[in-house]
Amino acid sequence: MKFTTRLAVFCSGAILSGAALAATPELAKSQKHAEAYSEYREAIFMLMKSNMAPLGGMAKGAIEYDAEVMQTNGMRMEQLANMVSDYLKVDTREYDVHTHAKPELWDNYADVESKIQDLLTATANLQKVAKAGDESAYRDAIGKVGSTCKSCHDDYKAD
């Protein structure tokens, strides 16, 4: 087997192993660790909400389209989406912490990771639409981000 073929096989195996590891949550190590990650989760979702609200208003026609807000908030949503997995991966169920996460989140973490990937795809598309200034496509792009958020909330967020 050629070196490049062996390298490709090795790398693909390493990637698959990494993907399997990425879909495994880690247990909080202490009360303090659990509290910190619960706070981080809440903070990132509050930031997402504050950036999504004006976009949703534009999509519904409640506020006027603003290309600058689209670009700024689209960029922020994409950046925040890239951090979601970092803050959801710590399983805080064993500790008494304030959280909106249902316990099922960590039991079905591979599904959560899949939903996060959908969010990443949707926010990347939103950012692409925002950068292009494509006013005809922004409602659909915002709607896709909103539906990915809703999908996870429906399954894993306690009311």
Asked whether residue 152 is marked as a ligand-binding residue, the answer is yes
DSSP state of 25: -
Where do the H-state alpha helices sit in the chain?
3-22, 31-59, 67-88, 104-107, 109-132, 138-156
Token pair for 22: 């990425």
**Cα–Cα distance measured from residue 31 to residue 21, given in angstroms and rounded to the nearest whole number:** 24
Asked whether residue 33 is marked as a ligand-binding residue, the answer is no
Please state whether 61 falls in left (phi above 0), alpha (psi between -120 and 50) or beta. left
Tell me whether residue 12 is exposed, middle or buried, using C-beta atoms within 10 angstroms of its C-beta: 0 to 12, 13 to 18, 19 or more.
exposed
Asked whether residue 11 is marked as a ligand-binding residue, the answer is no
DSSP β-bridge partners for residue 157: 101
Point out the annotated binding site.
Answer: 149, 152-153
Point out the annotated binding site for heme c.
Answer: 149, 152-153
